[in-house]
Amino acid sequence: MRTCVSGAVLAVIWATGVSADTNLQSSEPAEAGAYQLASADVVVSMRPVLRPSAEEQKVAAQGSNARFEAWIRAFRDRAQEQGISPTTFERAFQGVSYDPEVVKRDRNQSEFTKTIWEYLDTAVSDARIRNGKAALDKHRRTLEQIEAKYGVEKEIVVAIWGLESAYGSFRGSDSTIRSLATLAFDARRARFFETQLIAALRILQAGDVSPARMLGSWAGAMGHTQFMPTSYLEHAIDFTGDGKRDIWSDDPTDALASTAAYLAGFGWTRGQPWGVEVRLPKGFDYASARRDVTRMPSEWAALGVKDMSGNPVPDHGKASILLPAGGQGVALMIFDNFEVLERYNTADAYVIGVGHLADRLAGRGPFKADWPRGDRALTFTERKELQLRLTQAGYDTQKIDGRIGPLTVNAVRAYQLAEGLLPDGYASLKLLEKLR
């Protein structure tokens, strides 16, 4: 089942590259309302907080380390039951200690918000386009070979590379074993991260990489295109023919091929757009702008939905209309390939970022419609308040979790219809103020 984060409002953490570490290539949903935009250092809240003293922090760390070491001893038995050899385990865990920074980052994911246009300003910046074109030129022969074998356009592969690690510049420097062990021990999502940890140990046992070179993001995503360990085991490719599936090397070949193989495995259709910017006609039925309403582009054209030049979009397959910033922003006609990209990250903003960057790398222009830049993103607290007030008004969002997903969007749209507002499903500050 698909989970989504509204493209209009997303929570942001800065880590490495531009990625969504806890949500990458897995069934584990992102944190409530969380989307990780990574580019440099972690952005911390400017709100003053009461911090424990240095002595209190030291005592807490000592207690955590003792419990962590006990957890490792118990985990060793579980790992060996799943085929991990004692030698592999000892090599992997030599010198591994509890990492409180990883837990801090995991728990703070919902604190920072950006609008989709703020995200895209970074994800599809002039510098990222320029660097992406240089990467395309440098690796063109390899990328063309990968495209020929897997049927995934080279611009899409390079766009993912650009967003995940800035074309290999920021692959992450955290020990994958240490990060995953800390997160598995933390218990909040222990089952998911222990599964990833076992997969990481299997990678080490297979000899593809050494523990010292198995580095990545704080949440365990690895290499040029930030594969989680389970995705690596299922989809990583030895494209160079050296006997190793090396996504960590300075040579990005295996990582790029693995990314193409991953998308191909989930049904990528060569030649089909991920999405096309469209212009909606006057009187458009905004209630039909939803993922479960699909039509052929020619059928949308009969309803007045055409590309920005006024021409019908070619019939590449059934498509739906996506309004990432409501009726006042860019409108997109999205195809099945959009859903394939969601297997990398379920946030609409991420998929749009990858798709639009790929378009720019292929020589196409920027979006023509304006974004509602006067709006600001709702904070995590405000998103929860919106859900609560909608539910209290009789428009049940099912959960009060700060996540603007399909259920909340449907509740917003129902409220808008009842109030005579534009039913675009856009969770805006103006809507929240009306509910107050």
The per-residue pLDDT for range 113-134, each reduced to its tens digit, is 789 999 999 999 999 999 999 9
CB count within 10 Å of CB 376 equals 15
User: How confident is the model over 327-350, as a mean pLDDT?
Assistant: 96
Number of other residues whose CB lies within 10 A of the CB of residue 216: 28
Would you state the pLDDT for residue 109?
Answer: 64
pLDDT value of position 206: 97
Least Cα distance to 343 among 222, 220, 231 occurs for: 231
175's enclosing H/E stretch is strand 174-175
CATH superfamily of 67-107+171-265: Bacterial muramidase (1.10.8.350)
Question: Rounded to two decimals, what is the model's pTM?
Answer: 0.86
| CATH 1.10.8.350 boundaries in the chain | 67-107+171-265
Of 223, 201, 179, 183, the closest CA to residue 16 belongs to 223
User: Looking at residue 187, what is its pLDDT?
Assistant: 74
Specify the 3-state DSSP secondary structure of 347: strand
Q: In whole numbers, what is the pLDDT of the chain averaged over residues?
A: 88
Spatial distance between the Cα atoms of 346 and 339, rounded to a whole number of angstroms? 8
- pLDDT at residue 113 in the model: 78
Contact status, residue 178 vs residue 99, Cβ threshold 8 Å = yes
**Nearest Cα to Cα of residue 119 among 426, 349, 332:** 349
Here the tokens at position 417 are 């219809």
Residue 107 has a pLDDT of 80
